[in-house]
Amino acid sequence: MSHRLQELAARQWRIDDDALRHADTDADKRACYAVMRELRPHLASEEEFMQRIGRAADESYRMLAAWDEGRVVAIAGYRFQENLVYGKFLYVDDLVSAETQRGKRWGERLLKALDAVALEAGVARLVLDTGMANALAQRFYFRQGLLTGAMRFGKAIGGAA
């Protein structure tokens, strides 16, 4: 990862929504596990989750969490990247609200905060992927002003799932 992207990852961004804060401590990260597992059920344990996000942090990954009455109710995992297509951009790896919290605008609030982070960071775009069959998420993203710009192709290598 470039030095510029490392600097962006380490910054303390101004978040105007009092219910949102970065999960930067181990305790805060662990508090995110149950909600993240709703999106990523293949995460077999909290320890695996902590190891993965630890490795991802080396590539600028952070989690912005929504907190309600001391509990995490929604999460946006994101990172800064740079490529020839977009230049520097903010990539949203994960966006999930706890099932009991859906429809309460947590996702909208998280994306709005990430828009502000991206603007403050001076990056060119906010980018995310979603599954082709995930029509509910696609409708939500369209309502948030995100537009489709590409179709991603991929394949498993060496028997990986």
Angle between helices 26-39 and 46-57 (to 10 degrees): 110
- What pLDDT sits at residue 3? 75
Average pLDDT over residues 61-69: 97
**Torsion angle defined by CA atoms of residues 46, 62, 81 and 144, in that order, rounded to the nearest 10 degrees:** 100
Question: Given a cut of 70, is residue 76 above it in pLDDT?
Answer: yes
pTM: 0.86
Q: What is the pLDDT of residue 155?
A: 74
Residue 37 token pair = 């597992």
- Confidence category of residue 140, pLDDT binned at 50, 70, 90: low
* Alpha carbon distance 134, 9 (integer Å): 29
Mean model confidence pLDDT for the chain: 89
Query: According to the model, what pLDDT value does residue 122 have?
Result: 93
Q: Looking at the predicted structure, is the pLDDT value of residue 160 above 80?
A: no
pLDDT at 26: 97
- Is 14 within 8 Å of 120 (Cβ atoms)? yes
